[in-house]
């Protein structure tokens, strides 16, 4: 595993915003997948305070485009990247991913995508990027077993129904062997690593 957290300031941020940052074990899966092949340009959907974007940029040397709808989180993220000397490697895009992602994939060729935003919208993100990515592009998605409710066919509790049904559709899509090679890991909230075939 390469060194991918360059500065103790990133770890301090994890202390403060940990609930909104990929868990450490999930991060290791993410970074392992990212460094498994050379990457030129990475798309991240869901920036929060910029922790995983920083790790992806640092570990791969690729440029990271990252999308977030909460401007106050992006302010924290931009300070982190500046403090860690990574501002030139990461471009933040403020706005709803449903609107921003279709524009980005038309403008840039991505060879690695990390999906970590609205849990009920993963299928929409996948549909938006699929035709624009090449065979061999890797997609990593976090929280694919949201609260342990996605696996199995049980009827989800009312308050999580939209997320769980949406995530089940997403899992069906990425495990379609005619489109992806996919491995799922139980770490964190469940993390999927898929390669377009
Ligand atoms: C789990 S956090 C991302 C964590 C980050 N990838 C990390 O590990 O450091 C999910 C983020 O997605 C953002 N988000 C949720 N829905 C979104 C949407 N529709 N468009 C853009 N961002 C969204 C949330 O504001 C939140 O900051």
- Mean pLDDT score, 54-61: 95
In the predicted model, is pLDDT for residue 6 greater than 70?
no
Rounded distance, CA 139 to CA 191, Å?
Answer: 10
Interval between CA 128 and ligand 1 midpoint (Å): 17
- Ligand 1 site, residue 20, Cβ cutoff 6 A: yes
Look at the chain and report how many structural domains it folds into.
1
In the predicted model, is pLDDT for residue 186 greater than 80?
yes
- Region of poorest pLDDT, from 23-27, 49-53, 88-92, 114-118: 23-27
- Ligand 1 site, residue 23, Cβ cutoff 6 A: no
| pTM of the complete model | 0.95
pLDDT value of position 177: 92
| Closest ligand 1 atom to 97 CA | 20
Residues in the chain: 197
> Is 1 inside a domain boundary?
no
User: What is the enclosing helix (H) or strand (E) of 134?
Assistant: none
> Is 181 inside a domain boundary?
yes
Domain that holds residue 117: 8-196
Interacting residues of 56 by C-beta distance below 8 A, sequence separation 6+: 4, 30, 31, 34, 42, 44, 62, 64, 112, 114
Helices (H) and strands (E) in the chain, counts: 7, 7
pLDDT in tens, 58-97: 999 999 999 999 999 999 999 999 988 999 999 999 999 9
> Is 3 inside a domain boundary?
no
User: How would you class 123 by CB atoms within 10 Å of its CB: exposed for 0-12, middle for 13-18, buried for 19 or more?
Assistant: middle
> Is 125 inside a domain boundary?
yes
- Ligand 1 site, residue 42, Cβ cutoff 6 A: no
- Ligand 1 site, residue 21, Cβ cutoff 6 A: yes
- Ligand 1 site, residue 14, Cβ cutoff 6 A: no
> Is 111 inside a domain boundary?
yes
pLDDT value of position 29: 95
pLDDT value of position 3: 58
- Ligand 1 site, residue 22, Cβ cutoff 6 A: yes
> Is 106 inside a domain boundary?
yes
Closest to 140 measured CA to CA, from 97, 183, 98: 183
> Is 2 inside a domain boundary?
no
Position 1 confidence tier, pLDDT thresholds 50, 70, 90: very low
> Is 138 inside a domain boundary?
yes
CATH label of the domain that carries residue 119: 3.40.50.150
Interval between CA 90 and ligand 1 midpoint (Å): 16
DSSP state of 133: S
pLDDT in tens, 103-113: 999 999 999 99
């Amino acid at each position: 595993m390469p060194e991918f957290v360059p500065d103790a300031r990133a770890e301090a941020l994890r202390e403060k915003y940990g609930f909104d940052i990929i868990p450490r074990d999930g991060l290791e899966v993410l970074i392992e997948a990212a460094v498994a092949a050379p990457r030129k340009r990475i798309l991240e959907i869901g920036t929060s305070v910029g922790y995983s974007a920083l790790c992806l940029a640092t570990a791969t040397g690729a440029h990271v485009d990252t999308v977030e709808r909460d401007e106050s989180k992006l302010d924290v993220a931009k300070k982190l990247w500046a403090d860690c000397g990574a501002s030139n490697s990461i471009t933040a895009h403020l706005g709803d991913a449903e609107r921003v992602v279709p524009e980005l994939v038309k403008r840039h060729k991505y060879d690695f995508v990390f999906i970590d935003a609205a849990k009920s919208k993963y299928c929409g993100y996948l549909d938006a990027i699929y035709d624009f990515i090449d065979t061999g592009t890797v997609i990593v998605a976090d929280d694919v077993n949201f609260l342990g409710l996605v696996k199995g066919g049980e009827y989800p509790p009312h308050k999580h129904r939209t997320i769980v049904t949406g995530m089940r559709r997403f899992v069906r899509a990425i495990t379609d062997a005619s489109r992806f090679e996919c491995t799922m890991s139980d770490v964190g909230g469940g993390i999927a690593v898929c390669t377009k075939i």
